[in-house]
Structure 1
Amino acid sequence: MRRDRFTVVGRETGCHIFEGDGTRPVLEEEMRVKYRPRRVEFPEEIAGWRHAIQEEERRKEALGLPHRWNNQRFAVERVVVTRTHLAEEPVVTLTLQDADYYDFLTTSLNLERKQSNGLTLRQQYLEGEDPAYAPAWMNCSFGVNVALETGRDGRMLFSRRSAHVAGPNSSRWNSSANEGLARMHDLPEDGSPVSLYAVARRALYEELAVHATDTLDLEMLGFGLDLDNHQWAGFFRAVLPDLDEETLRLRWSRGVTDKWEHDRFEFVPADPDSVLGFIADQPPELWTPCAPALFYLALVRGAVRAAGGDPAARFQVEAAEQRVIEARRP
């Protein structure tokens, strides 16, 4: 099954919006995460690929060479979306299994590698079948992505991933902050469920020095699926009513937990014309697949809230998009 790709300013991206249109959030109490403590199981041939990756990383570590650390993470078993009975608000159930970073590398580095049956992983599981329902061992990455606005000066923050970050998205414009789910950080010791809202707050703290004492307006906007790299993403909009660009940059100059993840930040006026104009003015290959979709949904949510909850306000963003396209036509 071919999943449609999000298009903005005349460009088709590598992102499929699985849930959400920006007009209403997924409430924290309606975002349900189920964790099944069982490890993903690879087919025998793919398990051999993973073993080779593990042995190579161990070899490099033993020689004192740069190597990849195998952190514990989650695999997405399934994502199910329903609606509440009366208000028809979105209810999302995310079911997770155990996985690790080497599991993720096994598939992410080998999507185009042919198996003994002559098919690549992409051909068999992502093009020959519905990619949203690929087996759990194909889904060893879930990232929380946040679009951040500063309330005091009305700016939207774009972050460019550092060239030192591993993976296909290095040196690309991305969400303001993003964090992959990790068992060490995000699985509560008291047995309570994993909270994607808590992961979003962790991303804001570790990458942008937004502290728990800062006033934060945080809403989940939906889910995306990176069709190019096959990675799941949760989309969030965050507004800091009491902070501005100057305050955040001053904080960053004094140290950030994960400062190395980004090498450039751009604060753009948070109105649709400016945000979509910034997206249009950057070459398409310099964007991660799902970042433009996230920022578009954040614009829609801001417009709807400014209009007192009227979902028709989304068309203000569409009108701005047309102005941006017209202004850039030769």
Structure 2
Amino acid sequence: MSGIDVGNGVVGAILGVVFATLFQQGLQDVWFRIRRRSAGVVRSITFREQQGGGWSAFSLGPLHTSALIVDGDGGAVIPPESVHVQVLDGDIELPAEMSAWRDEIAAEEERVRESGERAPVWNGPRYAVESFEVSRTALDEHAEIHLRLRPTDYYTFLAAQQLDRRLADGSTPRGRHLDPDQPLTAPAFLQCSFGINIAVVTADHLLVVTHRSDRVRMAPGVWNSSVNEGLSQHIDSAGRNAPDLHSAARRGMREELALEPHEFSLFLLGFVLDVEKRAWSAHFYARLNDMTGEQLQTRMSRGVADRWEHQAMEYVPFRAVDVTRYLLRPDRIHRWAPVAPALFHLALVHVHGRASVERAEAQVVRRL
């Protein structure tokens, strides 16, 4: 090799180092921005395809529910004075074709009562949701809830639950009356349910989870919130007063867990709509003041008013990682009542904070 070639090689190497030093980081930055922008476009397209509208039901990794959190994020408590409930005059009236379905239910329950083949379903008085609205106070922007109800009964509720049954023209109540892009807009006769769901945590930090009985008419055999109670006209409306949601929650604690109001602290965290079944729910968190899981089990062994609604009960450490793993267990993930996972998430956020809970949930999902 000649001296000229060696000199050229040395010069080329030096120039290469200089150009790499001057331009490599810039080229890398440009390449990074291109990749990030492309990934953002892909994510945006995918998000639009998956979401469609502006509302999304609660999901956690592979667990997808039909529970839409309408108000509340778990962080702020909704005080009793911020909830305004009004009961309107006049019972719910079903359209003529659906009214015939209610007549079928009534006739079948009468036949069962006469034959004695099973216990008939009691046609208890309940409430339908005419409207649900949220406003904010002017100074601190706290939520003000306005809930308007109408009287109805359990047979009407059962008829209205047949959302996918064919009508005479081939359509269904779901297709005729509901717009998936406007989930909060629906006629009251399709919303004949308002319930109370409570996440109960014992003094030794155990979440109470219940397994619904196979004998109940609605959602048999699913795993559910600690307490689930429907609003009742006769029980929850003293005289002509509108029902009080906190009072109904305390009734549920007494009837399903044999707990008295002085034994727990109660917090309203949000309102949720099961968009599949058109069932509304107020979500509460209850912390037992002194009673441990073992003591609660002992208390319940002495008698519970509504024991028949549950066939089992389990206790889960009330930590985000443990509750998330429990929700996503292979033998649980497809057997949850629609609103239970959202309830437990809100309760975790209330106690442990959103950032901590979401970090733990993401960790569990990544390790599946």
Structure-1-length-normalised TM-score: 0.91
Distance 1:212 1:28 in 2: 15
Identify the residue that residue 150 of structure 2 maps to in structure 1. Answer: 97
Identify the residue that residue 309 of structure 1 maps to in structure 2. Answer: none
Count matched residues: 314
Q: Deviations over 1:25-48 (max 9, x none)?
A: 211100111011310011111111
- What's the C-alpha RMSD, in Å, of the aligned pairs? 1.5
Q: Any stretches of 5+ residues in structure 1 without a counterpart? A: 304-312
Identify the residue that residue 156 of structure 1 maps to in structure 2. Answer: 207
Indicate conservation of the 8 Å contact 1:23/1:314, yes or no: yes
Q: Deviations over 1:171-225 (max 9, x none)?
A: 1110000100111111112x333110111111111001111342x2111111111
SS at match of 1:133: coil
Distance 2:158 2:334 in 1: 22
Identify the residue that residue 302 of structure 2 maps to in structure 1. Answer: 254
Q: 2:356 matched to 1:316?
A: yes
Question: Structure 1 residues 128, 9: CA separation in 2 closer, same or farther (over 3 Å shift)?
Answer: closer
Q: 2:228 matched to 1:188?
A: no
Match of 2:100 among 48, 59, 67: 48
Displacement of 1:128: 5.8
Displacement of 1:232: 0.9
Indicate conservation of the 8 Å contact 1:156/1:267, yes or no: yes
Give, as a single letter, the amino acid of the residue that structure 2 aligns with 1:194: P
Distance 1:62 1:40 in 2: 28
Match of 2:117 among 59, 62, 65: 65
SS at match of 2:78: coil
Distance 1:65 1:86 in 2: 60
SS at match of 1:85: coil
Higher radius of gyration, 1 or 2: 2
Give, as a single letter, the amino acid of the residue that structure 1 aligns with 2:145: V
SS at match of 2:88: strand
SS at match of 1:17: strand
Distance 2:126 2:356 in 1: 39
Match of 1:263 among 308, 311, 327: 311
Question: What aligned pairs does 1:285-304 form with structure 2 within 5 A after superposition?
Answer: 285-303=334-352
Displaced runs of 4+ in structure 1, greater than 6 A?
none
Displacement of 1:89: 0.7
Question: Structure 1 residues 15, 125: CA separation in 2 closer, same or farther (over 3 Å shift)?
Answer: same
Indicate conservation of the 8 Å contact 1:9/1:276, yes or no: no
Displacement of 1:127: 4.0
SS at match of 1:105: helix
Displacement of 1:8: 1.3
Q: Which has the higher helix share?
A: 2
Give, as a single letter, the amino acid of the residue that structure 1 aligns with 2:336: W
Distance 2:181 2:174 in 1: 9
Indicate conservation of the 8 Å contact 1:40/1:97, yes or no: yes
Q: 2:287 matched to 1:239?
A: yes
Distance 2:362 2:181 in 1: 35
Indicate conservation of the 8 Å contact 2:179/2:185, yes or no: no
Indicate conservation of the 8 Å contact 1:155/1:245, yes or no: yes
Question: What aligned pairs does 1:166-177 form with structure 2 within 5 A after superposition?
Answer: 166-167=217-218, 169-177=219-227
